[in-house]
Amino acid sequence: MIEEDICVVVPTIREYDCVRDYVENARDHDFDVDRLHVVLVTEDFCDTAAMEAMLDDLDVAGRVFDGTRREQWFDEHGVPEYAHLIPEASHAQTSFGLLYLWANGFEYGVFIDDDTAPFPDEDFFGRHLRNLQYEGAVEQVSSDEHWVNVLYQNFDEHGLYPRGYPYAAMDETVETETTEVADVVASQGLWTNVPDLDAVRILMDGDLQGQAQTRTTEADYADEFVAAPGDYLTVCSMNLAFRREVVPAFYQLPMDDNEWDVGRFDDIWSGVFLKRACDVLGKQILNGYPLCRHDKAPRSTFDDLQNEVAGLELNEHLWKVVDDCGESVDQSDRTGDDAPRADRDAADAFAAVYETMATALAEGDWSEYENGAFFNLVGERMGEWLACLDALDPARRTVPADD
């Protein structure tokens, strides 16, 4: 077993120096940096030597994986037949970080995008970890459209809906109440400066550089909250912490590298599946803090639109496909006798619910939707994801874990 218990996954081809800000933030707040293991997921054309030098300079544990090294990793771990689960040149390569986390027994994962930075006065890792351990009262949000806008708290001022929020669920009526949470499995921090919007909404906001004219500030966020059971929300992977047990239900889907050119919904759809599994299993996703600053680089809004348009219709319907999945799952079906009971039960429960969603998508007839066959591919890949995790599970496999 490795010493570190938090796997920090950063997909990057440009601004890998963001890691310096997060490690410095940890040290400034007396967070134990020895707990961190940074995995930089990059490409063959990037300077991996410079990335490794940065980790050495920061005196933080970690690895750098370009495309060639990812292929080698799959071979070394005896699962080369699953290498296709990680798409090429796509943000969804964060899934490789999940596989690395899983194979090495990390207890927690943190996703960080390379165009973000922590707030200096906020204990970034400490706040995420406290969220994952939180038990007590919190605001619960619901709507008559069964979708919660994570930007609801100051919506009357900015009028924003985040990337992935269905257009059919807009103009919702929001209700809030206080509830008790006892089993938080994911902590989604939100963002200031450039909001995380889709290209259509950015164009409507009058911006051709992919950023949006309307910006968010700390004043747009109040206390943390959860979405009510039965209600969905967008889950963005730019600032997210989670427990190991959710990995079977958190595959970042095969976007961009597919014949339908569907892209930009990897974290959004994985969030839909995760929320459904949480609702079935009585778990929670806590949202709000710690905030990060999102400094998205200028780029063509129309390029983003090109990447999103192939999946826009599918995004309107995906949540309805899985909304009744998992209720009849026997949570003991996938348990094994060769692993610690609590960890095995928790992860297997997520896997069991996820398997029902994978089957529904893989076996459904989606011909009524534009690019509907992509749903079938997604379902097939989800099933392969579970098989790959079984093969990599430290309690089941015979290949040694990474150093």
Instruction: Kindly tell me if the per-residue pLDDT of 177 is higher than 90.
Output: yes
Output the pLDDT for position 339: 43
Output the pLDDT for position 232: 98
Q: Is residue 3 very low, low, confident or very high in pLDDT (cuts 50, 70, 90)? A: confident
Question: In this predicted model, what pLDDT tens digit does every residue of 130-140 receive, in sequence order?
Answer: 999 999 999 99
Instruction: Give the Cα separation of 108 and 131 in Å (integer).
Output: 12
Instruction: Kindly tell me if the per-residue pLDDT of 119 is higher than 80.
Output: yes
Q: Is residue 89 very low, low, confident or very high in pLDDT (cuts 50, 70, 90)? A: confident
**Closest by Cα among 59, 67, 64, 54 to 19:** 54
Output the pLDDT for position 224: 97
pTM equals 0.94
Instruction: Kindly tell me if the per-residue pLDDT of 183 is higher than 90.
Output: yes
Q: Is residue 25 very low, low, confident or very high in pLDDT (cuts 50, 70, 90)? A: very high
Output the pLDDT for position 340: 42
Q: What is the mean pLDDT of residues 324-342?
A: 59
Supply φ then ψ for residue 147, to 5 degrees: -135, 140
Q: Is residue 263 very low, low, confident or very high in pLDDT (cuts 50, 70, 90)? A: very high
- Partner residues linked to 9 by β-bridges: 39, 111
Instruction: Kindly tell me if the per-residue pLDDT of 128 is higher than 80.
Output: yes
Output the pLDDT for position 88: 86
Output the pLDDT for position 65: 98
Instruction: Kindly tell me if the per-residue pLDDT of 365 is higher than 80.
Output: yes
Q: Is residue 295 very low, low, confident or very high in pLDDT (cuts 50, 70, 90)? A: very high
% the chain with pLDDT above 70: 93
Instruction: Kindly tell me if the per-residue pLDDT of 399 is higher than 80.
Output: no
Question: In this predicted model, what pLDDT tens digit does every residue of 189-215 receive, in sequence order?
Answer: 999 999 999 999 999 999 999 999 999
Provide the residue ranges of all domains of the chain, joining segments of one domain with +: 6-392
**Rg (the chain; Cα; Å):** 20
Output the pLDDT for position 393: 85
Is 9 within 8 Å of 98 (Cβ atoms)? yes
Output the pLDDT for position 356: 98
Q: Is residue 306 very low, low, confident or very high in pLDDT (cuts 50, 70, 90)? A: very high
Instruction: Kindly tell me if the per-residue pLDDT of 388 is higher than 70.
Output: yes
Output the pLDDT for position 182: 96
Instruction: Kindly tell me if the per-residue pLDDT of 333 is higher than 70.
Output: no
- Mean pLDDT, the chain, rounded, equals 93
Residue with more model confidence, 395 or 154? 154
Q: What is the mean pLDDT of residues 314-330?
A: 92
